[in-house]
A and B are shown apart, each in its own frame.
Chain A
Amino acid sequence: GAVVSQHPSRVICKSGTSVKIECRSLDFQATTMFWYRQFPKQSLMLMATSNEGSKATYEQGVEKDKFLINHASLTLSTLTVTSAHPEDSSFYICSAAQEPANYGYTFGSGTRLTVV
């Protein structure tokens, strides 16, 4: 079945530094990828939708300059948290779809970001 690999699974960084999270579709081409943020014991909050070859669409309230999303190929999307602060600490999850209309979304295993 479809597999989405997300890397790293855990990362600790210092305040003020940037962190890049990768989301790869391993056995299919993903025209659309979604990035979510999940706070402890809470639901998933959609941050942005990225489509291959075009700019990401950010949800209201999400700082596009802080959370840089790049979807340069049909198998890779990256989320870069720039100038990270402790309040950016969270669990970030991506999902990918080959054909969004079929709702065959596959989720990555998530990245636990801790900013110290």
Chain B
Amino acid sequence: AQSVTQLGSHVSVSEGALVLLRCNYSSSVPPYLFWYVQYPNQGLQLLLKYTTGATLVKGINGFEAEFKKSETSFHLTKPSAHMSDAAEYFCAVSDQGTYKYIFGTGTRLKVLA
């Protein structure tokens, strides 16, 4: 069975500092991996996804993530945090048989002025 672990339910960074949100997955088959952002009382917005090909994936709003098979990781980074990045971030892995997403428990990012 597939699973996703997000280390750190809360992460605080200063404005302008590096953002690093961690995601590790478990999958017996090559995974499809995703990062989503959720603002309060809103749905989810896709930041980026990895399916095949280049392991460094660039997404919207300056975010990127690198698929590391050897480490079963898909950490999300952004070189310089902005106040508007404060939100909940979810990592997800797909079930390729059913196309369902399996979400991690989420990481709330706080950006300090």
Residues in chain A within 8 A of chain B (CB atoms): 4, 6, 9, 32, 34, 41-44, 46, 49, 91, 93, 95, 97, 100-101, 103, 105, 107-110, 112
Name B's interface SS: strand
Would A43 and B43 count as touching, CB distance under 8 A? Answer: no
Which residues from chain B contact A6 at a C-beta distance below 8 Å?
A: 43
Q: Are A110 and B41 in contact (CB under 8 A)?
A: yes
Whether the pair B100, A46 counts as a contact (CB closer than 8 A) is: yes
SS class, residues of chain A in contact with chain B: strand
- Given that A42-B106, A43-B90 are known contacts, is A32 also in contact with B41, CB under 8 Å in the complex? no
Partner of A43, one of B46, B100, B103: B103
For residues 65 through 99 of chain B, which have their beta carbon under 8 Å from a beta carbon of chain A? 90, 94, 98-99
**In contact, A46 and B99 (Cβ under 8 angstroms):** no
Instruction: Report the minimal beta-carbon distance from A4 to chain B, rounded to whole angstroms.
Output: 8
Q: Which residue of A lies closest to B88 (CB)?
A: A41
Q: A49-B98, A103-B51 are in contact. Are A43 and B44 (CB under 8 A)?
A: no
Known contacts A42-B105, A43-B105, A44-B90; A34/B42 CB under 8 A: no
45-72 of chain B: CB within 8 A of chain A: 45-46, 49, 51
Q: What are 28 A-B pairs with beta-carbon distances under 8 A?
A: A9-B41, A32-B99, A41-B106, A42-B105, A42-B106, A43-B90, A43-B103, A43-B105, A43-B106, A44-B44, A44-B90, A44-B103, A49-B100, A91-B41, A95-B43, A95-B44, A97-B99, A101-B99, A103-B32, A103-B34, A105-B101, A107-B36, A107-B43, A109-B42, A110-B41, A110-B42, A110-B43, A112-B41
